[in-house]
Structure 1
C-alpha cells in the first residue's frame, strides 16, 4: 500500500512540473501577451485574436492638439474594423520615429500610415518598411526623397495656403499695408506647399503695392516673382520659420515688432502657418501699442483657436476635418489589405516620384460660421466654447 501511495505522489509531481513548464500560447502558437500593449505611446484597438498587427500608425507628437484630435478620429474609425491597429507617437524625434516603424514592422504590419516628423529623415524608416513588404501611406505630410511611398492621403495643402492668402487679400484696403510672413518647419514639405499656396494669392497684391513685406529680406528680394523655386522658398522659410513651435513663433514675432518702426505697424496682415503659432503671434501683436488692428490666419480648427476666433483674437482658421482624413487613410489601408487598388484623385511629387494621392476638402472658418462649420457638423460640442452665437 505504501508503495502505491509513493508511486501516485511521484506521478503527481511529474504532472505538476510539466504544467509549470508550459507557456500560454495563442491560436497561432505564439506566446500570448494577454492583451498588453507595449510602450507608453501606443494605442491598440479591439481586433480579431489572430496575432500581430495589420495596420501601424505613426504620428509626430502628442504635444500639439491637432495630433490628439487625429488620434481620436483614428480610434473612432479603428473601432468599426476587424483589423488590428497600433498607434505610436514619435514625440518630435526622428530617431523615435524610426524605432516606432521598426517596432511595427517586427509586429508584422501589412500597411504603415505615417505622418513624418521630418519629411526627408523619414525616408530611411519607410524604406525599411518597404523592404519588409509593407505598403506605405504618407499621412498629411508628404515624405520626400524616396520611392518607398505608395500612397499619400492629405488635405490639398496648396489650397490651404491659398485660402489663407485669399482671406488676407479680401480684408485689405488701400495700399502699403504691412505684411508679416511666417512659415512652418523647413523639414516639413507641407510648409512649402502652404507657403506656395499663400504666395500664389499674395504675390500679385505685393507687386501692386497693396501689401508691403516687413519681416523677410528674402521675400522682398523675390517679391516680383509669381512662382518661386524650391531654393527661393527655402530661403524665405529659413528666415520666417516657426518650426511649428509656439515659443519660437512668439520669439520671432517679438523680434520683428521690436525692430519695426511704428509706421510699419498700424493695421497689420499676418500669414501664420497654423493655429498654435497663430495664437502665439496674435498675442504678441495684440500687446504692441503701435498695432491698431491685425488680421491673422491659421489652420487646424484647434479648440483654443476656435475660442480665439469667437473672442476676436484670431481672424480665421482652415478647418481640416480629420474625421474624413483619418477615414480616408484607414479605408485605403483596408483596401490594400483586401487586395484592392485604392482610389486616388491627384499626384504629389516628393522630389523622387509622383505619389498617387487622395485629397480631402477644407473649409475656411471665421467668427461668422463657427457654429455651422464646427458645431452643427458634430465636430465639436457647443459646451466646449464660451460666447458662441
Structure 2
C-alpha cells in the first residue's frame, strides 16, 4: 500500500502559536486503521472521486465560515479532481439521515461526518460501512465505530474555559463573594459530556455554583433566557461569573446582562473565537473564548478522508496528538486531537491575527474603533 506523504502547509507565524498546538512529530498511520467493518476504499486520486462533508449546524458560525472552506481547500490541494458534496443538517438528526441517504445513493466514496447527535449518527456510520464507505467523525465523535476521529481535546477545552474563569475571579478578588452560573451546550452534542468532564471538576473545586443548565441546540436565545432566570433568582449583585459553553450562547448571556443595566458584566467564557466574540472581548464585555486552529482540523480531516477513500497510508502528521478514543458503544477509534488555546485580549495578535482567522479590519468596525485594541492597531486600518 503506497503512502501519501503529507507536508504541512499551514503557516504558523510565531513560536508561541506553534507550541500551543502541542506538536508531536510522530507518524500517524491514520488511514491504516480499519473501523469495525474494515472500511478501506480503492478510489483514485488521479481520476478523482466524491468526498461527503456533513456539518451539524449553522448557528455556530465557525462551521460555514471556517470548517467548510478549509476542508474544501484542503481536498482541492491533495486531490484536484475530487469533488466535495457538502450538506448542513441545521441541528436536525432526521435531516442529516436524509443527507447521508442521498450521498450514499449518489455514490460518495468517503464521508466526513459532524454528527448532530452521537447516538443517531451510529446508524449512519453503520449504513456507510455496509456500503463500503469509510467515515471520518469530524469535530464530534459519532457512535458506530467511525474509521477515524478528528477534533480538539474537548475535555481540555472545558478545563481551559473553567481555569480561565477561576483565574479571572481570583484576579478580581471576587471568587468568594458570590456564585457562578454554568450554562453548558446541547445535551445531544457528544462533545458536551467531554466539556463538562473538563470544566465541572475545576468549577466545583474553586467556586460556588448557583445554577447550572443544558442548552438545547446551543441556542443563544435559550441561553439568554437561562441567564435572565438566574439573575432573577440569584440576584445580579450575587453572580460573580458565568461559564458559557460557546460564543453564540455567550452573546445571549451578555445580552441578558445588558438588559439589566448593570455597570459591569462579570467575566463570561466562550468557545470558538467567533468574530462577534472577539469584538466583545476587545470591548470588555466577554472575558475569554477558546481559539481552535480550525484550519488544521479541517485539513487533517480532509487528508484522512482522502487516504481512507483511496486505501493509502498517511505516513506523517505533526500538528496534533495521535491517540485512540472509545465511543459510547465501546468501539476504539483512532483519533487526531488538537490542542485548544485560551483566548483573551492579551493574545489576539498571536492567535486569530497571526493565523488569519480574523483581521484587524474584521474586528475593528466602527462600533469597536474606540477600544484600546483597535486604537493600538489604528495604523493598520488606514
Same fold (TM over 0.5): yes
TM superposition shift of 1:292 = 4.5
Contact 2:72 2:84 in 1 (8 A): no
2:346 aligns with 368
Does 1:256 pair with 2:230?
yes
1:192 aligns with 193
CA distance in 1, matches of 2:353, 2:235: 41
- Residues 98-155 of structure 1, C-alpha deviations (whole Å, 9 max, x = no match): 11111111222221100011111111222111110011111001113x23x1111001
- Residues 281-312 of structure 1, C-alpha deviations (whole Å, 9 max, x = no match): 02212333567441111111111111111111
CA distance in 2, matches of 1:347, 1:132: 25
Contact 1:254 1:284 in 2 (8 A): yes
Residue 280 and residue 204 in structure 1: after superposition, are their counterparts in 2 closer, same or farther (change >3 A)? same
- Residues 213-260 of structure 1, C-alpha deviations (whole Å, 9 max, x = no match): 1114xxxxxxxxxxxxxxxxxxxxxx4335301111111111111122
- Helix, strand or coil: the match of 1:299? coil
Does 1:58 pair with 2:58?
no
Output the aligned Cα RMSD: 2.1
Does 1:73 pair with 2:70?
yes
CA distance in 2, matches of 1:379, 1:261: 38
Does 1:384 pair with 2:362?
yes
2:380 aligns with none
CA distance in 1, matches of 2:97, 2:300: 24
Q: Would you say how many aligned residue pairs link Structure 1 and Structure 2?
A: 311
- Helix, strand or coil: the match of 1:214? strand
Contact 1:178 1:214 in 2 (8 A): yes
Residue 171 and residue 139 in structure 1: after superposition, are their counterparts in 2 closer, same or farther (change >3 A)? same
CA distance in 2, matches of 1:186, 1:354: 23
Which has more radius of gyration? 1
Which structure 2 residues correspond to residues 230-249 of structure 1 after superposition, within 5 A?
239-249=213-223
- Residues 322-368 of structure 1, C-alpha deviations (whole Å, 9 max, x = no match): 11000010111122233234577122221121211101122211111
CA distance in 2, matches of 1:50, 1:72: 23
1:356 aligns with 334
- Structure 1 residues not aligned, in runs of 5+: 1-46, 206-210, 217-238
Which structure 2 residues correspond to residues 122-141 of structure 1 after superposition, within 5 A?
122-141=121-140
- Helix, strand or coil: the match of 1:77? helix
1:152 aligns with 149
Does 1:97 pair with 2:91?
no
**TM-score, L = length of structure 1:** 0.75
TM superposition shift of 1:262 = 5.1
CA distance in 2, matches of 1:292, 1:306: 18
- Residues 13-41 of structure 1, C-alpha deviations (whole Å, 9 max, x = no match): xxxxxxxxxxxxxxxxxxxxxxxxxxxxx
- Structure 2 residues not aligned, in runs of 5+: 1-43, 377-382
Match of 2:322 among 314, 326, 345: 345
**TM-score, L = length of structure 2:** 0.76
TM superposition shift of 1:66 = 1.5
CA distance in 1, matches of 2:45, 2:197: 44
Looking at both structures, which has the greater relative contact order when contacts are Cα pairs under 8 Å and sequence separation is at least 6?
Answer: 2
- Helix, strand or coil: the match of 2:312? coil
TM superposition shift of 1:375 = 1.1
Contact 2:91 2:217 in 1 (8 A): no
Does 1:172 pair with 2:146?
no
Does 1:276 pair with 2:248?
yes
Contact 2:134 2:309 in 1 (8 A): no
TM superposition shift of 1:84 = 2.4
- Helix, strand or coil: the match of 1:297? coil
CA distance in 2, matches of 1:305, 1:295: 13
Residue 188 and residue 249 in structure 1: after superposition, are their counterparts in 2 closer, same or farther (change >3 A)? same
